[in-house]
Amino acid sequence: MSSVLVTGGAGFIGCNFVRFLVKEGHEATVLDKLTYAGSMENLKDVKGRINFIKGDIAEKRDAEKAIKGCEIVVNFAAETHVDRSIQDPEPFIRSNVFGMHALLDAARRHDVKKFIHISTDEVYGSAAKGFFIETDTLSPRNPYSATKAAAEQLGIAYANTYGIKLMITRSSNNYGPYQNAEKFIPKMITNALQNKQMPIYGAGKNIRDWIFVEDNCTGILAVIKKGRTGEIYNIGGGNEKRNIDAARTILKILGKPESLLTFVADRPGHDFRYALDTAKARKLGWKPAHTFEAGMKKTIEWYKNNTWFWQ
């Protein structure tokens, strides 16, 4: 791969992905607005080996400046916290939809060979049973997932109308190093480490498929290298867990008591279950390398050794 633009590369998944690019010797440019969710600290060990631009994907000038000279675009940049989107959807519409539009428009004017948009399993909505495949109908059910679905549709329209060479990945819930402590897994880990109560929505029965962030990164790389233009790929960890059981795994690894678990009022419109069929991505030769327990041990170790990140 030649020069890669990573938007949102100072955030959780983005900074992990940038490390993979640097390790493989690719030229990486990061465009990031450095919102509360992104930080240069997340890139401190690779800072000298990347080109960093502080900017907003929704600002045409920033999108244009960053895309110029890049052959591959990987769009991670987004507002991502569902609870925040329920409180105020507007920043989500701006960054996730207007941002996608500005990037696509800039990609039209430059010779972008591949445009990879990072989406989410949440666009399918809740799965009563079975597993979603890439051709299933989208049914987003909260403001965050609605903006992610809108961005996908805009991308598909631009590919169809203007020939943008688009691929989309839809991943399940990520966990791992550098995830903001407002999200479920890091909140559970950091509270448990401090012997603080661990808040669980409702009765903790909602189910998510968890993927260790490095496995998502290898999945995205497989799509870039071997995926077909115009295709969508589900990337899931194959680790379905009820939230309560994910929290119990953390307590077990840390040797902490279950009395730390505390149940709080459920999120409005909380999707019950997300589940992905990942056969299509696996046909590219990719599969996740971590069980939930193995990924969680690495994650907990990282939060223990990097208190600067969350304290």
Ligand X SMILES: NC(=O)c1ccc[n+]([C@@H]2O[C@H](COP(=O)([O-])OP(=O)(O)OC[C@H]3O[C@@H](n4cnc5c(N)ncnc54)[C@H](O)[C@@H]3O)[C@@H](O)[C@H]2O)c1
Task: Specify the residue, 8 or 300, whose C-beta has the smaller distance to ligand X.
Answer: 8
Q: Which of 82, 12, 15 is nearest to 52 (CA)?
A: 15
29 sits near ligand X (criterion: CB under 6 A): no
**Of 173-181, 219-227, 242-250, 292-300, which segment contacts ligand X by CB under 6 A?**
173-181
Q: Is residue 101 within the footprint of ligand X (CB under 6 A)?
A: no
Alpha-carbon dihedral angle through residues 272, 277, 282, 284, given to the nearest 10 degrees: -100
For ligand X, which residue of 78, 107, 123, 260 counts as binding (CB under 6 A)?
A: 78
How many residues in the shown chain lie near ligand X by CB under 6 A?
A: 31
Rounded Cα distance between 264 and 36, Å, is: 25
Q: What are phi and psi of 170, to 5 degrees?
A: -120, 110
Residue 36 falls in the annotated catalytic set: no
Residue 71 known to be catalytic: no
Nearer Cβ to ligand X (34/251): 34
Q: CA-CA distance, 3 to 70, in Å (whole number)?
A: 5
Asked if 266 is an active-site residue, the reply is no
Residues 139-158 contacting ligand X, CB under 6 A: 148
Considering the candidates 144, 158, 233, 303, report the single residue annotated as catalytic.
Answer: 144
Q: What are phi and psi of 244, to 5 degrees?
A: -65, -35
d(CA 208, CA 239) in angstroms, rounded, equals 8
Q: Examine residue 127 and tell whether it contacts ligand X (CB under 6 A).
A: no
Query: Does residue number 33 form part of the binding site for ligand X (CB under 6 A)?
Result: yes
Q: Which of 65, 63, 69, 59 is nearest to 28 (CA)?
A: 69
Binding site for ligand X (CB under 6 A): 7-8, 10-14, 31-35, 37-38, 56-58, 76-80, 95, 99, 118, 120, 148, 171, 173-174, 180
Q: Which residues are catalytic?
A: 121-122, 144
